[in-house]
Amino acid sequence: MTQQAPLRVGILAAGSHPIQTIYLPALHALPTLYSVTAIYFSSQSQENATPAPANGTSTASTTQNPDTILSDPDINLVLNFMPNEYHELYTIAALQAGKHVMVEAPVSLSIPSARRIIEAEKEAPNRARVFVASARRYAPCFEDVFKKEVRSLDRIHYARCRMIAGPHVAHTATSLRVDTGNMEGESQAPPSIVQVGEDRTKRLKGLLEEVFGKDEQPNQERMALSRFLASLGCHDFGLMRDTLGYPDAISNISVNEPFYSALFHYNGAVVEGAHPHPFTLMYETGTDCVPRCDAQLAVYGQTKTVTIHYDLPYARGQPVRVVVETADERGGLMQTETVSTWEEAYRGELKALYAYLSQGKPAKTTARDSLEDIKLFQTIFEQYDRQCGTIRTPLG
């Protein structure tokens, strides 16, 4: 076999944290697969400083203009870590330039927007493709242990997915506030920042119109729910769908900002070869000011409970853990634990990305897969509206 050349990477990011602390070290740890060429940070701050290389050998340059990366013929992979409102813009622009894209989850905010990305992928030169970042799903213990143990259950009685987290530099969900009107103090900002803020607001408004309809102004509760689902919820849903599939129904949605919950109902055809038994998954999530992360997906069988514990997206240092609980021969509790480091999860993701783009191997976090998360968002919004009485049903 001939040695394939590394993919030449250009990075578009709103802030430096996930790039500097997660992806640059992971990319530099795979020098035969990736070579970072150029980086653009949109923040009007010191984040435009040259990023420190993870291994002291980086020759990546920084740029003040994202078009520099999109038009560079030497770059064949773009990492799109811009805000959600810009996922479609830069992903399609990169595809039209014949460049592969790894975009931060979710692929976009509305179903029509995601479908436009999928259509652009079909027509892209150089067979350019889209890959959606979801490192949890590439942790070795998730695929090799957790899913295998879940498939071994004779019957699933119940499941629970929880993400309750306090403030952390890795994620902005606890402080994210989107104002669809004028931002307070905006007139005092430099003109370049004002223009970026106005453009972002306009793009967000257009996407929300595709979600909720042009004639309906989303209320505060739905805005809060949509922000949260698009920031933290999509990562939970991807892991849940990868394990249990798409839910058959949703009910009992609670929106009590900043905490949310819902019941996902399954008809039971999850464990291959087993007799289907319906079960319910309880989803609970929210943020507060307590500095911890209580996040897990647990699946309960008759004689075994399988749980995967994880941290916030882009939080380094904390491993992904799979805990299997059963009864021993004396009736006592027996636990086994398997651990994957955060480095293993991100390197596994990048290895899968390279195999998808350079070797033609299938990938599970594609644009079509991420579209399923957006459909799930839409179903949650519609069910919440029914509960609130804003949609008239046959029962009134």
Count of CA atoms in the C-beta half-sphere (13 A) of 279? 24
Instruction: Give the model's pLDDT for residue 172.
Output: 64
C-alpha to C-alpha distance for 22 and 346, rounded to whole angstroms: 8
**Residue 164 CB partners (closer than 8 Å, separation 6+):** 259, 284, 285, 286, 287, 288, 293, 294, 295
356-374: b (≥16 Cβ within 10 Å) or e: bbbeeeebbbbbebbbbbb
**Could you tell me which of 202, 162, 163, 157 has the C-alpha nearest to residue 181?**
202
pLDDT at residue number 218: 73
pTM surpassing 0.75? yes
The Cα 298–Cα 305 span in angstroms is 7
Burial of 225 (0-12, 13-18, 19+ CB in 10 A): buried
Which among 256, 235, 226 is positioned nearest to 311, based on CA atoms? 235
Give the separation between CA 105 and CA 364, rounded to whole angstroms: 13
Please state which of the four CATH numbers 3.90.550.10, 3.10.580.10, 2.120.10.80, 3.40.50.720 is assigned to the domain occupying 7-137+348-373. Answer: 3.40.50.720
| pLDDT given at position 228 | 86
**Rounded Cα distance, 320 and 310, in Å:** 5
Closest CA to 208 of 93, 84, 387: 84
| First vs last C-alpha separation in the chain | 66
The 8-class DSSP code of residue 80 comes to E
Tens digit of pLDDT at every position of the chain (396 positions): 345 789 999 999 987 788 999 999 999 999 999 999 999 998 644 444 444 454 444 578 899 999 999 999 999 999 999 999 999 999 999 999 999 999 999 999 999 999 999 999 999 999 999 999 999 999 999 999 999 999 999 899 999 999 999 988 876 665 543 333 333 333 333 333 334 578 888 998 899 899 888 877 777 777 888 888 898 899 999 999 999 999 999 999 998 889 999 999 999 766 665 567 899 999 999 999 999 999 999 999 999 999 999 999 988 888 999 999 999 999 999 999 999 999 999 999 999 999 999 999 999 999 999 999 999 999 998 898 888 755 555 444
For residue 17, the model assigns a pLDDT of 81
Give the pLDDT confidence score for residue 217 in this predicted structure. Answer: 73
Output the pLDDT for position 121.
Answer: 98
Could you give the CA distance from residue 211 to residue 214 in angstroms, rounded to a whole number?
9
Closest by CA position to 243, among listed 151, 134, 380: 151
Which residue carries 């008809």 as its tokens?
267
Instruction: Tell me what pLDDT residue 274 has.
Output: 59
> Where do the domains of the chain lie?
7-137+348-373, 138-347+374-388
301 vs 278: CA distance, rounded Å = 12
CATH 3.30.1300 fits 138-347+374-388, yes or no: no
